[in-house]
């Protein structure tokens, strides 16, 4: 039987080596207890909320409060603005403007464009903006300190009003891959344990989580016991790897987001919401290994570090080999039709059952054969009916399938 040329089922046609992935939809707000996370535009002048939250016990990792300068002689002027400009700014950090002398309590506040939820507080000679949940990555922000007739005013009337309007522009950086890994681990989408260096983790406060998303807290990862080196050797802390891709797909599926394995704004918004609500992975972590060592080819599956399946399997023949590598499950059918062309040029149109696609047209599925453990398929990993049926529900979306060994 051949399985590579095309696959049809539920009205969809699938070609070998053509990965099907749903495109993530436009980001939308997700409400949480006490907060709402939503992807926002990087332009515009209206208030664009990522989140708002009420949490008086939140621990914030913010820029240290600026020291109060001694009152300077002469007219009121700006001493410093933080951030002072540039790129890679943490979008959750406080924004601080320091003046030459204390301000009047009723003084006009500086403005931000695009504006976001948060509040300005005047204390002595400083005006500080604390965001509710910060700016998205890659947002260019303009900070304006108003001057002139309606500008910032000193408490001491002899210091007057800020003479000229001041501006500074800065751009936020990127969310941290390391923090993505920490959160996916915390929610159970990775087979790891993360231990923070100082024993503490960011609070559930929305802005504290955003600050950590830009600047991940230090810590260490350890694998849960029982998983083979074929999986653990592919992990790298702080950099993208196939374990992260699979975990993001699993998270997208659990959240009802189009699966593409990419942690974009919609995934991050949903991830921060899931952390706030402690929405852990509804499925146990599962990993599959197809070993191409004919005549003893096998499919072995681990779940929560324990082997739950070890069964003979068939992989691809010459001209329709099963490619080595590690891939996440991205499409599943209980039953479907596979159509295509065999290496000898003949056509096929076969009904197959318990199908989990992981690499183009390659899938783990049942197909009847006189025996198993050999190069017999047109690229798929074929197993017998009972193990195929038993394992189908365990090979959930995002489950990693590794194929290793000499190809036919």
Tally of CA atoms within 13 A in the half-sphere of 340 that contains its CB? 25
3-state secondary structure of 250: helix
pLDDT value, residue 199 = 78
Q: Where are the domains of the chain?
A: 6-21+284-404, 78-172, 176-277
- 6-21+284-404 has CATH 2.40.440.10 classification: yes
> Given this chain, do its domains 6-21+284-404 and 78-172 carry the same CATH topology?
no
Q: Kind of pairing, strands 126-131 and 375-377?
A: unpaired
Distance CA 100, CA 61 (A): 26
pLDDT at 200: 79
pLDDT, tens digit (0-9, with 9 covering 90-100), for 88-146? 999 999 999 999 999 999 999 999 999 999 999 999 999 999 999 999 999 999 999 99
172 in Cβ contact with 89 (< 8 Å): yes
Q: Which residues of the chain have pLDDT under 70?
A: 1-73, 204
CA end-to-end span of the chain, whole Å?
Answer: 16
Supply the pLDDT for residue 80: 97
User: How many CB atoms lie under 10 A from the CB of residue 232?
Assistant: 14
DSSP H or E run through 232: helix 229-232
Structure confidence at residue 72 (pLDDT): 54
pTM: 0.80
Beta bridge partners of 192: 223
The CATH architecture to which 78-172 belongs is: Sandwich (2.60)
What is the residue whose two structure tokens read 């230090």?
218
pLDDT score recorded for residue 321: 97
Find the Cα–Cα–Cα–Cα dihedral 155, 156, 159, 162, rounded to 10°: 10
For 145-180, write each residue's pLDDT tens digit: 999 999 999 999 999 999 999 999 999 999 999 999
State how far the Cα of 306 lies from the Cα of 90, in Å rounded to an integer: 41
Q: What is the pLDDT of residue 43?
A: 37
184 within 8 A of 398, measured Cβ to Cβ: no
pLDDT recorded at residue 204: 66
pLDDT at 70: 52
């Amino acid at each position: 039987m051949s399985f590579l040329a095309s696959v049809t089922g539920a009205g969809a046609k699938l070609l070998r080596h053509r990965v099907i992935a749903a495109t993530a939809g436009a980001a939308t707000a997700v409400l949480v207890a006490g907060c709402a996370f939503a992807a926002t535009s990087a332009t515009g002048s209206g208030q664009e909320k990522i989140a708002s939250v009420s949490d008086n016990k939140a621990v914030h990792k913010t820029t240290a409060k600026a020291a109060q300068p001694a009152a300077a002689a002469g007219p009121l002027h700006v001493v410093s603005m933080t951030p002072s400009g540039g790129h890679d700014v943490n979008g959750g950090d406080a924004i601080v403007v320091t003046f030459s002398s204390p301000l009047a309590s009723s003084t006009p506040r500086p403005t931000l464009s695009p504006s976001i939820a948060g509040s300005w507080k005047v204390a002595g000679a400083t005006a500080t903006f604390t965001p509710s949940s910060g700016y998205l990555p890659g947002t260019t922000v303009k900070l304006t300190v108003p001057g002139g007739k309606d500008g910032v005013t000193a408490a001491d009337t002899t210091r007057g009003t800020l003479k000229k309007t001041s501006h500074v522009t800065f751009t936020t950086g990127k969310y941290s891959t390391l923090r993505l890994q920490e959160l996916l681990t915390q929610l159970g989408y990775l087979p790891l344990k993360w231990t923070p260096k100082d024993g503490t983790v960011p609070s559930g406060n929305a802005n504290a989580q955003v600050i950590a998303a830009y600047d991940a807290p230090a810590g260490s990862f350890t694998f849960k016991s029982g998983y083979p080196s074929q999986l653990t050797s592919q992990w790298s802390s702080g950099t993208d790897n196939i374990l992260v891709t699979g975990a993001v797909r699993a998270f997208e599926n659990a959240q009802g987001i189009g699966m593409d394995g990419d942690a974009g704004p919609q995934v991050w918004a949903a991830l921060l919401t899931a952390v706030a609500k402690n929405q852990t992975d509804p499925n146990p972590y599962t990993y599959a290994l197809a070993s191409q060592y004919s005549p003893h080819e096998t499919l072995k599956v681990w779940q929560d570090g324990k082997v739950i399946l070890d069964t003979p399997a068939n992989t691809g023949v010459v001209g329709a080999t099963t490619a080595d590598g590690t891939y996440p499950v991205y499409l599943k059918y209980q039953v479907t039709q596979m159509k295509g062309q065999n290496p000898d040029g003949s056509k096929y149109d076969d009904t197959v059952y318990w199908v989990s696609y992981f690499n183009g047209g390659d899938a783990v599925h049942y197909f009847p054969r006189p025996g198993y453990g050999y190069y017999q398929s047109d690229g798929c990993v074929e197993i017998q009916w009972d193990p195929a049926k038993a394992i189908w529900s365990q090979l959930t979306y995002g489950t990693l399938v590794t194929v290793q060994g000499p190809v036919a």
